[in-house]
Structure 1
Amino acid sequence: MFKVLITDHISDVGIRILNSDENVEVDYQPEIRWEELLEIIKDYDAIITRSRTPVNKELLDRAEKLKVVGRAGVGVDNVDLEEASRKGILVVNAPGANTVAAAELTMAHMYAILRKLHLAHEDMLKGNWNRKKFMGEELDGKTVGIVGLGNVGSQVAIRCKGSGATVIAYDPYIPREKGDRLGVELVDTLEELIKRSDIITLHCPLTEETKGMIGAKEFEMMKDGVYFVNCARGGIVDEEAMYEYMKKGKFAGIGLDVFSKEPPDDKIRRIFEFPNISLSPHIGANTYESQDKVAKKIAEQVLKALKGEFVEAAVNAPFTITEGFKDITAYLELAEKLGNFLSQYAGGNFKEINVEVRGTISEHIKPIVAYFLKGFLAPILDRNVNIINAPFLAKERGINIVETIREEGLNFKEFIKITAKENGKEYIIGGTAFYGKLPKIMMIDNYWIDIDPYGVILMLKNKDVPGVIAKLGEILAKNNINIAGFRLGRIKKGDIALGALQLDDRVNEKIIEEILNIPEILEAKEIIL
């Protein structure tokens, strides 16, 4: 018999699912006091919470029988994931359950600012009847630009197309086939989307890549009179820049559900001065239906986890070390580094990825693939990715993973080679572990190279002529950036060379632009491992 404690309010739908299992005893205490929780947690196999209950080290230290933590929602900020992992406690959540709710709220904001519904409402409450004052615009015939064509973005696209809009989208991690199925044109650059769109709506995760993605440069490129909606994450937008362009008259309407600081501080609230702005306090998931879906999903995930079944929404999962795994820990680390490098170097928009494992380590191809996928997906997803959920997430994104086993290689007995394909392009990355302990990236595309997969790495493609390194070193020195190591690979003398500089500090966009201005340098990209 499994005992499940629910410490926050969830929909009855989830409680009924748990109660329907004869092997589960449910204890529903949504108002339990912290002191009491600490006293009784030792008796439970699972705990289901929302954001009110902190699942911290103090609680986990007392949870003698705890096997599963279920977060009824997406965010897990209230859960100490590291401590849970250390104790072998699985943490699951309920991603995707609020997709329709978030999409519908986006449409509500969009229609509100197009038709000035919120302003007409306020005016009528004052006793006025000003029909001519609230002239609006139609969604029909507009070009809607969607940044992020994931679950929510796709639902917004469907609704906009149903209203007669032309929909374009920018998402470097979504295959064009998905855009074709939705009748959405996937554009190659964010700049193209911004310049073409009458309405721009954000539906991308907040990651290191997307933080501050919409700033002064992007607002400048937008059409005058653009409609701008953000129901994704506040940190994606530079609100200071938004305020400045609001004062310049850039926007016809603004719809916001999220902010970089919540509740917004006085600095952010300056944006609220805009006449046609529609606001809501981060309520994208606040529908009865959404809460039912969340409760249903978390109940199902907790039951699967308790029974040892595959859990698609695992936030963490400590890898079980069995016989032989200790000998390949360096290769597992290498696989994760290869994945992380690939997604930063070539993007995540691949239809097929072949994971080829050579030598005796090939008997452990399953965990090697899982670690590779964890590294590959982590930089591009706004959720915790681990070796349990990574294969599921890859499948969800339409990536076909091919596993190949080969005998010992000619150059290295043990070798991991990744081949990623999309739209006729092919990227290859591979590596080994020296002495079975030191992970090394040894191959990028057709170039043999030797890279320690740690820290800041500046990848270059340049013409193989004298003087390139001197020019590059001058720029880095001028910006007080030290070169910790340098590796060069080339296929043919005087052709194109591949360089890898390991740096002590990160390079910003301005420095990258300066490097690309060197005539002999064809490509430059910063990789963080």
Structure 2
Amino acid sequence: MDKFKILVTEHIADAGINLLKSQPDVELTYDPELFRDFNKILSIIHEYDALITRSGTPVTEELFERAKRLKVVGRAGVGVDNIDLDAASRRGILVVNAPTGNTLAATEHTMGMMIAAARQIPYAHNSLMIEKRWDRKKFMGVELAGKTLGIIGFGRIGSRVAIRAKAFDMKVIAYDPYIKKEKAERLGVELVDELDELLKRSDIITVHTPLTEETKNMITKKEIEKMKDGVILLNIARGGIINEEDLYEALVSGKVRAAAIDVFAKEPATDNILLKAPNIVVTPHIGANTYESQTNVAVIIANQVLAALRGEEVEFAVNAPYEDTAAAKVLKPFMELAEKLGLFAVQVACSRSKEITLEFRGDLGEDTSPLVTAFLKGFLQKIVDIPVNLINAPFLAKEKGISVVEVKRPEGINFKKLIRVSCKSDRGEFTIAGTVMDDKFPKIVEINGFLFDLTPEGKLLLIKNIDVPGVIGKLGSILGKYSVNIAGFQLGRTEKGKEAKGVILVDDDVPAEAIEEIKKIPEIMEVKQITLS
């Protein structure tokens, strides 16, 4: 039988190589130094069905043009900066990675850094080892037992940190607006609704979120001021989540007792300002550097590549192959709509719902699974800490225990084709519906029974208020005070003077202080900030 030809251009752990060698349907070429000779790779890539790399091999459009047989690229690790994902997608080539291989390594590094910061271990080591001083009184630490640990981001790593922290007799609280309370309760962790509550209550705070627009500079001077005096801060996740200048000042002032940092906004970080700060433990982004994690990564990526070649389910696809078919072109605007509805719903009310209903009205085809997948792609972007696409979205939803119920109905009175999302949460039922205008333009046309004509893009505020004069003026004054430009406003209501829904389109993120002021307007019942881009 014909064998799958796999080329490995960089070093990966023996466990992954041995797994590939043991497959009867695989012919393996393992040349771990080949990445240094890109021209040679270009000259032979046409022979291979799969390519496995780390970060050193440039997987460019030129490479894809020559790779006539290539079906999958495997990145032995998390980052895919060296791979042209658009070029891969256009050619229907899967790109897979191994985001879970370093989970335990990062978890244990977090615990090690936490103890090192609390007990000043590196400073005591240097004092004795380098300065030859026996200064026991100088290095007075704090115990973890009895302290409150605040975990920002309760995904794969955050939840495992919680388990280990509880073994140290710590009280653990967590903030993650996209995690179900049941998960935290099973682990004996209190899930708080607001970040501010975690900041105020925690003795030690550790972040375990991806770096996104939402999490960049999540911890700045403003957030640090809300923390307890003498708090300990950790970042073993991604550089840029904690503002480095503000952390430096807090360490100098003593507001922050100690910090432990493994990741930096710009790496290598040999001249970073934090290297001059007192009471800080730093490591050069080694959270994933264990023999075991490298073995895990190698095995995961080998299995992912094999599954892709054999046409089996792939868990960690980074891109979605592009299929330029007539059916796909017709369905594409509705898939874009479904994705935006998912992104909207998860930010408003559905993030912890166990069951979500998708109602399809009109002729949207016999097979609506692409629409469900597109919805899940949007919905999951705010819940998981790995890239979501049309390939891995169903798998990730299953892993999260998210159930989607499909309902098909005839075309409606107002719109021939419509997608409606509904879910139940602690605050009751939430619905949102949309359609496509002129076969091209997705529109949100209904939110909780209130009618709108809303293009689902950009940033907006969703307001629930009592429909009385003066509310819009008060909102505009507050936003103007914080230099937030209003790009548009829509009001949905069922009856004058009763409850109404308002959507304010804004050009910029609305500061938390502005949101708090808006909440204090007597006529405002609820306000949510939503990003649809």
User: Which TM-score tier does this pair reach, normalised by the shorter chain?
Assistant: over 0.9
- State the match for 1:460 in structure 2: 463
Q: Which moved more, 1:479-488 or 1:108-117?
A: 479-488
Does residue 426 (structure 1) correspond to residue 441 (structure 2)? The answer is: no
Q: In the superposition, relative to structure 1, how do residues 472 and 223 fare at CA in structure 2: closer, same or farther (>3 Å)?
A: closer
Which deviates further from its counterpart, 286-295 or 375-384? 375-384
1:245-260 → structure 2 map (5 Å cutoff): 245-260=250-265
| In 1: Cα distance, 2:101 partner to 2:426 partner | 32
Structure 2 residue corresponding to 1:212, chosen from 207, 217, 224: 217
Partner of 1:344: 347
Cα distance in structure 1, aligned partners of 2:63 and 2:38? 9
Q: Aligned partners of 1:407, 1:76: CA distance in 2, in Å?
A: 44
Query: What is the match of residue 444 of structure 2?
Result: 441
Q: Are 1:149 and 2:172 an aligned pair?
A: no
User: 1:495 aligned to 2:498?
Assistant: yes
The superposition leaves residues 252-295 of structure 1 with CA deviations (integer Å, 9 ceiling, x where unpaired) of 221110111112263x33x2334432111001110000001000
1:119 and 2:123 are equivalent in the alignment: yes
Q: Deviations over 1:275-323 (max 9, x none)?
A: 4321110011100000010000000000010111110111111254556
Match of 2:194 in 1: 189
CA contact (8 A) 2:482 2:511 kept: no
1:231 to 230, 236, 239: 236
- 1:56 and 2:66 matched: no
* Percent of aligned pairs with the same amino acid: 56
Among 408, 416, 420, the residue aligned to 2:419: 416
The alpha carbon displacement at 1:429 in A equals 0.8
Counterparts of 2:190 and 2:123, CA distance in 1: 33
Q: Give the Cα separation in 2 of the matches to 1:505 and 1:160.
A: 38
Q: Which aligned pairs between 1:98-109 and structure 2 lie closer than 5 A?
A: 98-109=102-113
1:292-307 alignment to 2 at 5 Å? Answer: 292-307=295-310
For the 8 Å contact 1:429–1:445, the answer to whether it is kept is: yes
SS of equivalent residue, structure 2 residue 464: strand
Residue 239 of structure 1 and its aligned partner are, at CA, apart by: 0.9
Q: 1:174 to 1:380 in 2, by over 3 A?
A: closer
Q: What residue is the counterpart of 1:14 in the other structure?
A: 16
Q: Which residue of 1 aligns with 2:286?
A: 283
Question: How far 1:114 sits from its partner (Å)?
Answer: 1.8
Please give the alpha-carbon distance, in whole angstroms, between the structure 2 residues aligned to 1:131 and 1:246. 22
Contact 2:155 2:385 in 1 (8 A): no
Partner of 1:139: 144
**Secondary structure at the residue paired with 1:157?**
helix
CA distance in structure 2 between the aligned counterparts of 1:178 and 1:299, rounded to whole angstroms: 30
- Cα distance in 2, alignment partners of residues 120 and 462 from structure 1: 58
**Cα deviation, residue 516, structure 1:** 4.7
Asked if the contact 2:236/2:262 (under 8 Å) is kept, the reply is: yes
Question: Are the counterparts in 1 of residues 350 and 424 from structure 2 also a CA contact under 8 Å?
Answer: no
Moved more, 462-471 or 144-153: 462-471
Q: How far off is 1:519 after superposition? A: 4.2
Instruction: Tell me the CA shift for residue 456 of structure 1.
Output: 3.5
State the partner residue of 2:392. 389
In structure 1, the gaps of 5 or more residues are none
By how many angstroms is 1:521 displaced?
3.6
Asked if the contact 1:373/1:394 (under 8 Å) is kept, the reply is: yes
What aligned pairs does 1:350-361 form with structure 2 within 5 A after superposition?
Answer: 350-361=353-364
- In the alignment, what sits opposite 2:47? 43
**Alignment partners' CA distance in 2, 1:66 and 1:130:** 62
What corresponds to 2:81 in structure 1? 77
TM superposition shift of 1:136: 2.3
- Cα displacement string for residues 458-509 of structure 1 (whole angstroms, at most 9, x for unaligned residues): 3322221123334445566677766554332112220121122344555444
Q: Alpha carbons of 1:249 and 1:306: their partners in 2 closer, same or farther (altered >3 Å)? A: same
Looking at structure 1, the residues matched to 334 and 42 of structure 2 have their Cα atoms a distance apart, in angstroms, of: 40
Q: Given the superposition, is the C-alpha separation of residues 149 and 415 from structure 1 closer, same or farther in structure 2, using an over 3 Å criterion?
A: same
Deviates more, 1:428-437 or 1:239-248: 428-437
Residues 3 and 326 of structure 1: is their aligned pair in 2 closer, same or farther, counting only changes over 3 Å?
same
Q: Does 1:96 find its partner at 2:92?
A: no
Structure 1 counterpart of 2:135: 130
Does the aligned pair in 1 maintain the 2:8–2:53 contact within 8 Å?
yes
CA distance in 1, matches of 2:525, 2:450: 16
445-454 or 338-347: bigger deviation: 338-347
Cα offset, 1:339, TM superposition: 1.2
Structure 1, residues 397-439: CA drift from partner, whole Å, max 9, x if none?
A: 2322222222333432321111122335322111112343332
**Worse-matched range after superposition: 295-304 or 178-187:** 178-187
Check whether the contact 2:239–2:265 (CA below 8 A) recurs between aligned residues: yes
Q: In 1, are the aligned partners of 2:350 and 2:423 still within 8 Å (CA)?
A: no
Structure 2 contact 349–425 (Cα < 8 Å) conserved:
no
Q: Deviations over 1:310-341 (max 9, x none)?
A: 10111111254556443322211111111122
Residues 334 and 431 in structure 1, CA contact (< 8 A), matched pair in contact too:
yes
Residue number among 22, 25, 30 corresponding to 1:23 in the alignment: 25
Where does structure 2 lack aligned partners over 5 or more consecutive residues?
Answer: none
Q: Distance in 2 between matches of 1:358 and 1:431?
A: 10
Amino acid at match of 1:150: G
Query: Aligned ranges for residues 168-187 of structure 1 at < 5 Å?
Result: 168-187=173-192
Residues in 1 aligned to 2:408 and 2:140: alpha-carbon distance in whole angstroms: 66
CA contact (8 A) 1:319 1:387 kept: no
Deviation of 1:149 (Å): 1.0
Q: C-alpha displacement at 1:185, in angstroms? A: 0.9
How big is each residue's C-alpha offset from its partner over 1:45-73, in whole Å with a ceiling of 9 and x where there is no partner? 11101111111212222212111010001
Q: C-alpha distance in 2, partners of 1:404/1:387?
A: 21
Mapped to 2, the partners of 1:486 and 1:115 lie a distance apart of: 54
Shift of 1:347: 6.3
Partner of 1:330, secondary structure, is helix
> Could you say if the C-alpha distance between residues 322 and 235 of structure 1 is closer, same or farther in structure 2, counting changes exceeding 3 Å?
same
**The one of 159, 163, 180 aligned to 2:164:** 159
Contact 2:251 2:258 in 1 (8 A): no
The Cα offsets for residues 77-119 of structure 1, whole Å up to 9 and x where unpaired, read as 1111111101111000011111100000001111112222212
| In 2: Cα distance, 1:321 partner to 1:379 partner | 28
